[in-house]
Structure 1
Amino acid sequence: MQVYAEFQRITNQNLPNTFYAELDRHTPRLMALFRQKASKTGKTADALADIFKVHDTQVIIQYISQELHDVHTRHTTVLHALPVYLREEVSGFFRTCVDDMDEPDLGDASVLLLTTVSDDATSPVHYHPVRVSVVLEGDVVVSLPRLADAFLSRETGNGESERGGTTHRRGSPGAGFEPGPPAVRTIASTHGAGALPTELNTAPCNSHY
């Protein structure tokens, strides 16, 4: 991908590797911080508690089936919980639809992530989606298997993916668009890696996933 190659040339770093390394680095503190908030009262706490209820159920299922704890589960939880914690409105950015049904009208948003699921579209977070699509100006530009992959593809501003996605329509590399709410750009922007708000950087690290 041209954007990945240009990032490598300028910074001498691999863009996907940098993105996931920073996401992994921040995840333990963020998980601990979000759990602490979820234990309190209020609208934000309730929304976080709903996310962690689904997360904990997924972890139990993995334990019963003797699966290793999937890092993608934590990634998905953090990416959903961060804008909630910062009280940002993301209902227009995160959208969900059921597979084999009519997709929602996508023409009113410049950029969004559309998660397609096989059932229960009302869940606040989905760990095994059919696909996650990056939508720009009403057009699906790429579909990927995981939410974090969609964040990375969306951040490059390109409809091409190197992580097993299906490209539907390709945009101009580096065209530059507003990639969603500021909270999700906090982690999604690898150029600002490590520059989390002070409150997030100082959260305790002994997180129970």
Structure 2
Amino acid sequence: MGNYRTKCRRSGCLDVAVNAGKRGAHSAEGEPAKKNIKKAKKGELNYLPNFPEGFDQSSLEGARKDLVDEMQKREPNGKPVKQMMDLTFALRRKEVVDSEPAISTMMERWPALFIEDQIYMEFRRIVGKDLKKEFFDGIDRHSPRLVEIFRCKRGIIGQQLTQLSQETKDSDDDDSYQHIDIGILLVEQEGAMLSSSMHLYPASLKIVIEGKVVMGNIEDLPRAVCLLFGLAYALHLNYPKSMKHTFQFIQQVLLSLGQSALKPRLQTLKNQLQM
């Protein structure tokens, strides 16, 4: 197995080739060892897959343009959208992993990626799991015990949720979101009083990334968190700092993705759930 990765790289395996050419810390030129090395960190089975057989970047780019044209229709046809999203998956992953484009670029080039069903499908393409089912099954399974724990630590949990979610009126324009790097907006109707109860019963919810509303009219907060987690995988995003441990809990405990070893506070919470 000593030269396995070398052989994979020479055969054109992008998952390995993405790290080709990295130099050691004592090399005369180049970057220090381990700097900017790209690797799967969250249990991705298809981190950077090769293009489908018989397709190259040019032909997949043509399929992407066809996909954009379909999405511009008043009622896009779901079947061809799914087929083209499946076909262009490798091209999309190459973009988000290699280029790390701005969210505005991704919305322009891949509008179908911001549809709820396609977020779940993209998550399945990346890790091979049903995000919606496993997320809500996990929440249902642990909810009774989680409620008990949250009641004991309501102050800390409340602060974290406030950092992730922000309240706004539905008449606000997009300029009011510029300061939000990643989060969920709880939207109340114009003229209504904003209150803590709005977190449970908002008029609607929006997901904001890099100051852009990428999804709106989401029914409830659990669904919004689930979709935001899926977008973190689909767009190759880091977890929001204020909720890093919460997202790691979703990843490692609810979905059993990535390494099994948990950080101390996550292991403590898992142990408490099993009491």
Q: Does the TM-score normalized on the shorter chain lie above 0.5?
A: yes
1:17 maps onto 2:133 in alignment: yes
1:8 maps onto 2:124 in alignment: yes
Letter of the 2:267 counterpart: T
2:199 is aligned to 126
CA RMSD of aligned residues (A): 3.3
Question: Between the two proteins, what is the percent identity of the paired residues?
Answer: 21
User: As a proportion of its length, which structure holds more helix?
Assistant: 2
Q: State how far apart, in whole Å, the 1-side matches of 2:167 and 2:271 are.
A: 33
SS of structure 1 residue aligned to 2:272:
coil
1:41 is aligned to none
1:105 maps onto 2:176 in alignment: yes
SS of structure 2 residue aligned to 1:203:
helix
Structure 2 unaligned runs (5+)? 1-116, 257-261
Give the alignment's TM-score, normalised by structure 1: 0.56
- Farther off after superposition, 184-193 or 93-102: 184-193
1:57 is aligned to none
1:175 is aligned to 235
1:135 is aligned to 208
1:203 is aligned to 272
* Structure of greater Rg: 2
Residue 17 of structure 1 deviates from its aligned partner by 0.2
Give the alignment's TM-score, normalised by structure 2: 0.44
1:30 is aligned to 146
Letter of the 1:200 counterpart: L
Report if the CA contact (8 A) 1:94-1:115 is conserved. Answer: yes
Residue 10 of structure 1 deviates from its aligned partner by 6.3
Q: State how far apart, in whole Å, the 1-side matches of 2:172 and 2:119 are.
A: 34
Aligned residues: 147
Report if the CA contact (8 A) 2:170-2:188 is conserved. Answer: yes
Report if the CA contact (8 A) 1:115-1:129 is conserved. Answer: yes
Q: State how far apart, in whole Å, the 2-side matches of 1:182 and 1:10 are.
A: 20
1:117 maps onto 2:188 in alignment: yes
Rate the CA distance shift 1:6–1:123 in 2: closer, same or farther, 3 A.
closer
Letter of the 2:188 counterpart: V
Structure 1 unaligned runs (5+)? 39-43, 48-80, 159-172
Residue 5 of structure 1 deviates from its aligned partner by 3.0
Residue 2 of structure 1 deviates from its aligned partner by 4.6
1:55 is aligned to none
